[in-house]
Amino acid sequence: MADGHKKSVLLVEDNDDIAGYVKLFLEAMELETHHVADANAAIAYLKLHRPDLILLDIGLPGVSGWQLLEMIKDQVTRDGIHVIVVTAFTDPANRLVGKLQHVDAYLNKPYEFAQLKKVVGEVLGTGTS
């Protein structure tokens, strides 16, 4: 990175197979990536770390991604953390919630890695788009 800071991503995804592929892809984009599988682990991670981006699956077990976002919205706003929602829920109601939660982008599953690269590059301003 030009400023010497390697951008970091918190990947919140309950499907280990998807998470593994996405993590490898993000690391190939030279993004430091940490994966957690649920909201509680995400909250614990965010108590100690400030990622540049949260890549957030909405269909999490227990506490949904929307509920997690509500719980961490003050930290996200205060620390300027970007949020990209990744979900198979493409209905208008979920899109509206995304707009109301001020997420930076909404990526529908399944997606191509080229789409992920473009959206992450745009949101982080890394020029990787």
The pLDDT tens digits of the residues spanning 17-75 come to 999 999 999 999 999 999 999 999 999 999 999 999 999 999 899 999 989 999 999 99
Neighbours of 60 (CB within 10 A): 22
Q: Which domains are assigned to the chain? A: 8-122 (3.40.50.2300)
C-alpha distances in angstroms, 5 versus 1, 2, 35, 124?
6, 8, 20, 12
Closest CA to 66 of 33, 39, 46: 39
Mean pLDDT over all residues of the chain?
88
Residue 92 has pLDDT above 90, yes or no: no
Supply the pTM of this predicted model.
0.89
The number of angstroms, rounded, from the C-alpha of 84 to the middle of its chain's C-alpha atoms is 5
Q: What is the DSSP string of 26-53?
A: HHHTT-EEEEESSHHHHHHHHHH---SE
Judged on CB neighbours under 10 Å (0-12, 13-18, 19+), 128 is middle
